[in-house]
Amino acid sequence: MGEVVKIAVNPTIQVGGTLFTPAQLAAIGALAGEEAKIEMTPFKQLYIEVPFDRREHIVNELRNAGLEITPPGFVVKSLIACNFCKGAEEAGLETALFLNEAIAGIETPVPLKVGFAGCGLGTSEPLLKDIGIVKMRDTFDIYVGGEPKGLKASVAKRLASGISGDDLVSAITAIIDYYKANAKGKEKFSRFVDRVSLEALRRIIGTYTGETINEKAD
Ligand code: SF4
């Protein structure tokens, strides 16, 4: 096949969950070609190897089919969202789309997973992600530092609550920017949170949103 590169592909965030249409799957198969390796990742993306010299064409065609394409590897993964079973408005679909647009694909020291749940039932497991967002009535709670792997697995700690939809994107991008600027090499996000402290992250959020974040450390 010659030189190949990987791309990460997923359907748009929507009511009903991670739904591909038959036409999208057909487009993936046709564009990737018979010899392509297509991997289903644990974070709801397909990794597809495509010929380097056809990458741009394939990415454009997949986007035309309504799919989202981001780089693989050391980036913020596309938002890992719930199925929005309570409906688009009640579960915060518009905010999730806006947030995903702002953060998916940002380069980071290690791959970063961000979870989003439209209610406290948290069926997308946001507390097992590096950053978890849970919609609570009309505002959002933010959790950080979930670690699902290894013998020291742990759930994320609550960083802030009562964040408005308008402030949520600023708050999350502020956390990611701070991590990028202050991580020691390829420091895992959960370790970074433990090292810099929740208080430091609350101050960072406050600087961006203009709010004073006063949560008790959990
Ligand atoms: S987190 Fe809540 S709104 Fe989202 S799918 Fe689960 S139960 Fe439904």
Residue nearest to atom 8 of ligand 1 (CA): 85
Residue nearest to atom 6 of ligand 1 (CA): 123
Q: What does the block give as tokens for 10?
A: 């997923």
> Does 156 sit in the ligand 1 pocket, CB within 6 Å?
no
CA pseudo-torsion sign 98, 104, 106, 108 = positive
Domain residues of the chain, as ranges?
Answer: 4-70, 80-209
Burial of 30 (0-12, 13-18, 19+ CB in 10 A): exposed
Nearest to 61 by CA among 32, 35, 100: 32
Q: With bands split at pLDDT 50, 70 and 90, how would you rate the model's confidence at 213? A: low
Tens-digit pLDDT profile for residues 125-152: 999 999 999 999 999 999 999 999 999 9
Please state the pTM of the whole predicted model: 0.93
Q: What is the pLDDT of residue 217?
A: 43
Alpha carbons within 13 angstroms on the beta-carbon side of residue 66 total 13
Which atom from ligand 1 is nearest to the alpha carbon of 134? 1
User: 80-209: CATH homologous superfamily?
Assistant: Sulfite Reductase Hemoprotein, domain 1 (3.30.413.10)
What average pLDDT score do residues 103-113 get? 97
The Cα 76–Cα 39 span in angstroms is: 18
Task: Kindly report the number of other CB atoms within 10 A of residue 129's CB atom.
Answer: 28
- What's the CATH number for 4-70? 3.30.70
